Structure formats: structure tokens, C-alpha cells
Structure 1
């Protein structure tokens, strides 16, 4: 996926209110920006896991007579072709790594306006405890964030198991005083995570979401949405940009309560030295 091509495709419907099915189609077109412009409506439907009429209705929702008109715009927005025009002469692995570099560059550009990040940091810093939801592919990232967040916050609860226990733990966190929740929602968007976001809202929790796209299904129910693109150049997704965003968000949490952050870090260092946790 070419990053510039994906940005141009996303711009075609970034400001349009879409249904969940239409968001899935939009996400598919962004994810396959170079190739999708040359596919039929049936082939796009197959990629997105929806019906062909849904693709036609999606095009009409954007103001087109049908999918062929939308496909023409997609071709104009695309910088790639099926034969690979516009790609450099690197191998597949190098291309995937360079794509991650582009994803990080895009993230850096998005962070130029830090209002959403600052607001999210303030919201999460005030929550006692702080539940962090990450299921399936997002579970390792939730654990990584939670490991470091626990050094500056008194009660971080990583919720990485779905089912009825997830709802139980959300209710327990709310009863203990939680006011906000962080959810990390990455493709293929586990239904249980989306249900957890709805449950959090029902419990009165404010929600911050780290996800991969403004048209992610998690974006509709969140109070604050922070996006970082997922790399799709290998067999399994690369989460370099979302992991970076998670740590940038933790920095914003620290910045929201600098005195407490400093105190807790000093306490940890004293404890680590006393217990000789780290090798000299």
C-alpha cells in the first residue's frame, strides 16, 4: 500500500458520515489503495466481506451514480497500478519497512495539532483506576502500555480477555472509581472490543481509542480517537506506528500530572535499587 495513494483515497470520504458496513468498505479501499481502483464492485465486496449491492450503495452515498464513477476517482487518486508502477526496486521486506517509516512520518504530521492528544492524556491521567482494553492482536500492545503506565499511575488494569469476564472487570473498575478507559482497537476489529466500548459508555466511562483509521468501527463510539496506520506489507500486520502512538499518549498522561509522575518514578527507582532488580 502506497501511503500517498492511501491518503488520497481516504480524502474521498473522510468527511462523510458512513454506516458500519460502509466504513468497512472505506477501510478496504484505503488498505488496498493501489489495487482497489482496478477491481470490480464484486471484487471489492469480496475483499471487504460485504455484498456487491453494499458497494454500489456506498458509492451512491458518496454522491456517485454507481461504483464505476467512484472507481474512476479511485484511479485518479491512486499512484500505483496492478503492475506495480510507482514502486521502488526494493524487495518485499524492505518495502514493508519503508512503509512503516512512512506510517511514522504520517503520525508525526498528525501530531502537529496536539489538542486531541493533550485532552486524551488529561482524561486518562485522572482515572483511578485506569482500565486498558486490548484483545487479540492488540493484547500485546495493551500489555506494553500497561507495563509502563503502572510506573506513573497507581492502578492500571490491563483487560486482555474477552467474554463476560471483560464486562465484569469493567464494572469493577467503574465501581472502584474509574472515570475513563483506553481501548486499543486494531484490524480485524474484535467484536468483543467494540462491545466493551459500548458497555463502557453505558457505565458512564469516557473512552479514548487508539486505532488505525478514522473510518475504523471503533471511531463511532469513542470520545477521543487517536489514529496510527497499521502496516500491511507482510503476511501479518506491523504495529510500529500504533505502538509509538501508545507511548506518545503515555507521555501526554505524564505531562498532565508532572508532580505525581516524578514522585512515582523516584519511588520506583528507590525500590528497584533496594531490591537490585537490574544488573549493574
Structure 2
């Protein structure tokens, strides 16, 4: 078995098939995971060992037996397996490690740092450059995100709107979203953000745009995400949850990178635009 995103799909069946060959201590771990994999996904190796009554090294060896290079890889596969199924209540219940207010700031910021680092290590640079090229060539750029993802969509739309004059952010609070993209065509690009729990509406909108011939750029956390299945290229963003609050920091960073990359290719127009803005701001006293 390889350490990659596909492992989570076979993880439970792999544990079951290996069970008879496991040591006594490893069988205790296997039984606990099969019955409580949603909890184990957020346990350290030490905590799991304490819970089932085995040593931390036994937990690590168990992960190795399944073909993972270490326990963190097994944990990541478990998180991938469950993250789209977790309700908000379940996320709250798994936030016991955040009960100490003295460590919350440290843990949350470090989690965001880890997510950015993992995103940087895993993102496809060729897909990123292709996305920039598609944006620059598009007749119209539609940007969408549902629920918390709308924050990132709006953020990217704001900055691309400074650079280009053909940007449209699909608003979920202004009429039906399908009505806003009904004229999408084959010369257009749709940039879609979607993270667990994946929104059906986001997938339906992207699928509709794809059927109309538009190019789809998906920014999501997994190649198994619904919108990725219909995308022309996908930018993978790590968003392992620190608690019941989703980590949108890496998605914001990728949005920044897209805006900057597009802006650098249109920098002469941007300069003229900002010159006009500065004169307007000064005339109307926008800033102190």
C-alpha cells in the first residue's frame, strides 16, 4: 500500500484482511479503529496506545504493518475517510484537546502553518500555471463557493476584479445561483472552491457550467471531492481541521497566489488603474 490519498478508500477493508496476522496488541488497536475510526482520526499515537492499553511503539508498528511509513500517514488516511461525514456536533465533540484556552492560539496557528506547508509541498505547479493561463484567456470568469467557501470566493473575486473587468462572483444571497450563471459558455472559466462537508449546490453549479462548455478550475482538498470530478484542473489545498472551524488559510494563500500571478501579467493595466484610484481616493477623502 502506498502513502497517498487513495489509501483511505481501502483502509477499513485492509485492516479487516490483515486482522488474523496481527499481534495481540495490534488486534486491540484494529478492533478499536474499526469501532471508533472517527475518534482515532484525531488521536495521537500516544493517546491511542493509552486508550487501548498498548505502547506507543505498538501503535507505530501497527501503522507500518498496514503499509504506512508512520502513524501520521495512517491518521491522515482516517481523516480523509471521515471528514466529509462528520457533522458539526461530531467536530465539536472531537475538540477535547482545545479545552485549555492557554493552548488554543498556539494549536490553531500551528495547524494553519502545517496546512500551508502541506499545501505548498503537494500543489501541482503545472496545474497552477494552467489555471492562470485560463483566467487570462477567459471571456468571463465566474467564481463560486458555498457557505464558508464563499468567503474565499469573494476574496479572490475582489482582487481579480481590480485586475480584470470580466469577473463575476456568484452570490448565494442574491437570487438563485443558477440564474446568475445561466449564460455561462465555452469561452468562460469557473473557479470553484469546495471543502468538507462538500456542498451539493457547488457541485451542481460546476456540473452545469461544465455541460455548457466552460473550463472548470477547482480549488479543493481532495481529488475525490465532487467538484474535482468535473474539473479541467484541480489545485489541492490542505485543510485538516483543528476543531469544528475549517481552516481556510491555505485556500486564501492560493487565492493570493492566483491574484498575484494574474496581476504580474497585467501589471501595466494595474498601474494605470491604481493611479486613477489614488486620485479618486484623494479627491473624496477616502483615507485619513
TM-score tier, shorter chain, comes to 0.5 to 0.7
- Which of 172, 175, 182 is residue 161 of structure 1 equivalent to? 172
Kept in 2: contact 1:210–1:246 (CA 8 A)? no
Tell me the distance in 2 between the aligned counterparts of 1:124 and 1:171. Answer: 19
Which one has the bigger helix percentage?
2
Cα deviation for residue 97 of structure 1 reads: 1.6
- The match for 1:223 is 232
1:94 aligns with 2:110: no
- Which of 173, 179, 193 is residue 184 of structure 1 equivalent to? 193
Structure showing greater radius of gyration is: 2
Kept in 2: contact 1:38–1:71 (CA 8 A)? no
What is the CA deviation profile of residues 174-216 of structure 1, one whole-angstrom value per residue up to 9, with x for unaligned ones?
4xx8511111112111011011111110111101111123332
- The match for 2:66 is 73
What is the CA deviation profile of residues 9-67 of structure 1, one whole-angstrom value per residue up to 9, with x for unaligned ones?
9x534468x9xxx49x9xxxxxxxxxx9775445448999xxxxxxxxxxxxxxxxxxx
Cα deviation for residue 93 of structure 1 reads: 4.0
- The match for 2:139 is 128
- Which of 160, 177, 202 is residue 149 of structure 1 equivalent to? 160
Paired residue total? 227
- The match for 2:120 is 108
Specify whether residues 271 and 224 from structure 1 end up closer, same or farther in structure 2 by C-alpha distance, changes over 3 A only: farther
What is the CA deviation profile of residues 129-181 of structure 1, one whole-angstrom value per residue up to 9, with x for unaligned ones?
3111111110111111112221111132111318982222112344xx85111
What is the CA deviation profile of residues 109-141 of structure 1, one whole-angstrom value per residue up to 9, with x for unaligned ones?
345x63221211111122233111111110111
Which secondary structure state, in structure 1, belongs to the residue aligned with residue 143 of structure 2?
strand
What is the CA deviation profile of residues 52-88 of structure 1, one whole-angstrom value per residue up to 9, with x for unaligned ones?
xxxxxxxxxxxxxxxxx99942765314999xxxx9x
- The match for 1:52 is none
Q: Any gaps of 5 or more consecutive residues in structure 1?
A: 1-8, 26-35, 49-68
Which secondary structure state, in structure 1, belongs to the residue aligned with residue 229 of structure 2?
coil
Which secondary structure state, in structure 1, belongs to the residue aligned with residue 109 of structure 2?
helix
- Taking structure 2 as the reference length, the TM-score comes to 0.65
User: Equivalences for 1:216-255 in 2 at 5 Å?
Assistant: 216-255=225-264
Tell me the distance in 1 between the aligned counterparts of 2:241 and 2:201. Answer: 23
Specify whether residues 223 and 47 from structure 1 end up closer, same or farther in structure 2 by C-alpha distance, changes over 3 A only: farther
- The match for 1:194 is 203
Tell me the distance in 1 between the aligned counterparts of 2:205 and 2:274. Answer: 31
Specify whether residues 37 and 129 from structure 1 end up closer, same or farther in structure 2 by C-alpha distance, changes over 3 A only: farther
Specify whether residues 188 and 228 from structure 1 end up closer, same or farther in structure 2 by C-alpha distance, changes over 3 A only: same
Specify whether residues 71 and 261 from structure 1 end up closer, same or farther in structure 2 by C-alpha distance, changes over 3 A only: same
Tell me the distance in 1 between the aligned counterparts of 2:156 and 2:176. Answer: 21
- The match for 1:257 is 266
User: Equivalences for 1:34-45 in 2 at 5 Å?
Assistant: 39-41=32-34, 43-44=36-37
1:214 aligns with 2:223: yes
Tell me the distance in 2 between the aligned counterparts of 1:178 and 1:223. Answer: 14
Kept in 1: contact 2:127–2:235 (CA 8 A)? yes
Which secondary structure state, in structure 2, belongs to the residue aligned with residue 151 of structure 1?
helix
Tell me the distance in 1 between the aligned counterparts of 2:216 and 2:233. Answer: 7
- Taking structure 1 as the reference length, the TM-score comes to 0.67
Kept in 2: contact 1:181–1:208 (CA 8 A)? yes
Tell me the distance in 1 between the aligned counterparts of 2:3 and 2:73. Answer: 17
